[in-house]
Amino acid sequence: MTLSRRKLLSLSAAGVAGSLLPYKPLMAQTEIGTYTLTSLSDGSLTLPASMVLAPIPEGDKTGAIEAFGLGEALTPPCNVTLLQTGERNILFDVGAGSEFMSSAGFLLDALDEVGLSPEDITDIAFTHAHPDHIWGLVDDFDDLLFPDAKYMIGQAEWDYWTNPETVDTIDEGRTTFAVGAARRLARIADNITFFNDGEEILPGVAARATFGHTPGHIAFEVRQGSNAMMIIGDCIGNDHIALAHPTWKTGSDQDMEMGAATRTSLLDQIAHEQMSVLGFHLKGNGIGRIEAAGDGYRFIQDI
């Protein structure tokens, strides 16, 4: 058995490198009409809980920490969506690559598990340009990992991250985000299509403006007839505080007030329409339903 560098890193991190057990990314599949959607694990992140909790009033924060058993670090999964239509293999985001965190960047291994190579990917649509969603665009030599793909991104998101003033105006903790996004987006500047809210980017796939987490964050509604799923990216960034208290401002959103308003509106729609979701940072493989629970909502994992 041949192990890739990324697989060896994952095994070593798990303390089982000596056993040479194969890397088994968490994944799951579901169908919307004739389309197949697969949740591919890019690994997970390790983030200080304060990144989310800092803006929350102290009393509410303490209660939330106790209610959800949160520690000093959060370790959200990274669930990349693969949509297969029969003619196309479409990725929504490309994961973190090898430069962001050692616990993430396993998308190529996950694709290998479903029998696909980077050359098989026909289209890539970005929810937004944060590191864990776009840094996997290039390899360690700065070559494009998906050489035959067509790329798509929301116009507002592109405009923000390619603006040379962004690196000087973004908050200090996100400066590397701006540098990394600009560098990678420049690599696909000659092969990129822009879209706006409500536009159908591919047959049965419509863009939904969900601004706040970033200035141009987009979710995607995949629909065939009455069957639909929302690929939500990071506009609903976790399955605990974001759902139980959607109106709370959280530090993971660049515009916290807009992020809360977006989250509240989207959760209401998803729950009301009983629409399936695939969440990048929702627990497990991120596939499930969101339903009302008291003054908030809860995530029910389906698979």
Answer whether residue 6 shows pLDDT above 60. no
Q: What is the pLDDT of residues 9-43, one digit of tens each?
A: 443 444 333 334 444 555 799 999 999 999 999 99
> What amino acid occupies position 98?
S
Angle at CA of residue 173, ends 73 and 178, nearest 5°: 120
Instruction: Dihedral sign for Cα 101, 126, 172, 265, please.
Output: negative
Range with lowest mean pLDDT among 20-24, 129-133, 162-166, 185-189? 20-24
Domains (ranges, CATH) in the chain? 5-301 (3.60.15.10)
Answer whether residue 5 shows pLDDT above 60. no
pLDDT above 70 coverage of the chain, percent: 91
Answer whether residue 292 shows pLDDT above 70. yes
Q: What is the mean pLDDT of the chain?
A: 92
Q: What is the pLDDT of residues 137-181, one digit of tens each?
A: 999 999 999 999 999 999 999 999 999 999 999 999 999 999 999
Range with lowest mean pLDDT among 11-15, 52-56, 119-123? 11-15
Q: Are 128 and 157 in contact (CB under 8 A)?
A: yes
Q: What is the pLDDT of residues 199-254, one digit of tens each?
A: 999 999 999 999 999 999 999 999 999 999 999 999 999 999 999 999 999 999 99
pTM (predicted TM-score): 0.91
| Residue whose pair of structure tokens reads 């990678």 in the numeric block | 184
pLDDT at 27: 74
pLDDT at 25: 55
User: 258: which strand partners?
Assistant: none
Distance of CA 86 to the CA centre of its chain: 23
For the chain, the three-class secondary structure string (H helix, E strand, C coil) is CCCCHHHHHHHHHCCCHHHCCCCCCCEEEEEECCEEEEEEEEEECCEECHHHHCCCCHHHHHHHHHHHCCCCEECCEEEEEEEECCCCEEEECCCCCCCCCCCECCHHHHHHHCCCCHHHCCEEECCCCCHHHHHHHECCCCCECCCCCEEEEEHHHHHHHHCCCHHHHCCHHHHHHHHHHHHHHHHCCCCEEEECCCCEEECCEEEEECCCCCCCCEEEEEEECCEEEEEEECCCCCCCHHHHCCCCCCCCCCCHHHHHHHHHHHHHHHHHHCCEEEECCCCCCCEEEEEEECCEEEEEECC
pLDDT at 80: 98
pLDDT at 303: 79
pLDDT at 18: 34
pLDDT above 90 coverage of the chain, percent: 89
Average pLDDT of span 118-133: 98
Which among 221, 212, 217 is positioned nearest to 270, based on CA atoms? 221
Measured CA to CA in angstroms, residue 22 lies from 96, 116, 214 at distances of 21, 17, 36
Average pLDDT of span 93-121: 96
